[in-house]
């Protein structure tokens, strides 16, 4: 009888451990949301200040910091992938969402000479919204979903403003979709 009780307790401990390992550890990815959010917000505001307050024509050069953030992002996810013992459905779903986001981002960035930045920035805001709203839905985190939808709304509004205002709206877009939800993300989520 005692041996059966021990087996039941062992089984429950194993099940409990398996459940806790399937909790999505968002605290690791929190850094990425904050890094990208602050990088884009600071770059857009710096671009605005340099171009419209100081009259510097090549203010767009501040955006060359984005490849640095991309390299950091790549290294981070490469190391995370190597450490992962198990790749869950959530991991695969999120990877798919963000790979599609990156592909679409490059399509629009390379299309910028044809479309002009007035047409690209609103699209980027909508893309940020799609990525974060989808992620929020997958990991069941409402602040990320709401932030994503707000980013899409800001992107829609940005189509009706000039480039100078779009720089402010781009900053607002990442504040609501990356920075605020990034600060609100808990350490673990049950997914």
SS (H, E, C) 156-184: HHHCCCCHHHHHHHHHHHHHHHHHHHHHH
Extents of the domains making up the chain: 29-183
Q: How far apart are CA 128 and CA 169, in angstroms?
A: 12
Question: What pLDDT is recorded for position 163?
Answer: 95
Closest by Cα among 11, 8, 33, 35 to 135: 33
Which residue in the block uniquely carries the two structure tokens 């490849």? 67
pLDDT at residue 77, as a whole number: 77
Helix axes 163-174, 26-48, angle to 10 degrees: 160
Question: Which run of H or E residues covers position 149?
Answer: helix 142-158
Single pTM value for the model: 0.83
**In 10 A of CB 88, how many CB atoms?**
14
Across all residues in the chain, what is the average pLDDT? 86
Share of the chain above pLDDT 90, in %: 63
| Mean pLDDT of the 74-96 span | 80
> Which has the minimum average pLDDT: 46-55, 74-83, 179-188?
74-83
Q: Which of 147, 142, 146 is nearest to 174 (CA)?
A: 147
């Amino acid at each position: 009888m005692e041996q059966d009780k021990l087996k039941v307790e062992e089984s429950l401990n194993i099940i409990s451990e398996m459940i806790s390992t399937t909790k999505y550890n968002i605290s690791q990815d929190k850094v990425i949301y904050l890094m990208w959010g602050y990088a884009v917000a600071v770059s857009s505001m710096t671009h605005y200040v340099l171009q419209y307050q100081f009259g510097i024509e090549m203010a767009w050069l501040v955006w060359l910091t984005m490849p640095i953030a991309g390299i950091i992002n790549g290294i981070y996810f490469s190391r995370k992938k190597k450490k992962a013992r198990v790749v869950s459905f959530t991991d695969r779903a999120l990877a798919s969402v963000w790979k599609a986001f990156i592909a679409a981002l490059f399509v629009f960035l390379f299309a910028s000479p044809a479309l002009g930045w007035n047409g690209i920035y609103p699209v980027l805001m909508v893309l940020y919204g799609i990525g974060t709203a989808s992620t929020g839905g997958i990991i069941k985190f409402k602040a990320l979903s709401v932030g994503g939808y707000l980013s899409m709304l800001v992107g829609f509004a940005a189509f009706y403003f000039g480039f100078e205002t779009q720089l402010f709206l781009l900053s607002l877009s990442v504040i609501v979709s990356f920075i605020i939800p990034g600060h609100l993300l808990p350490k673990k989520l049950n997914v």
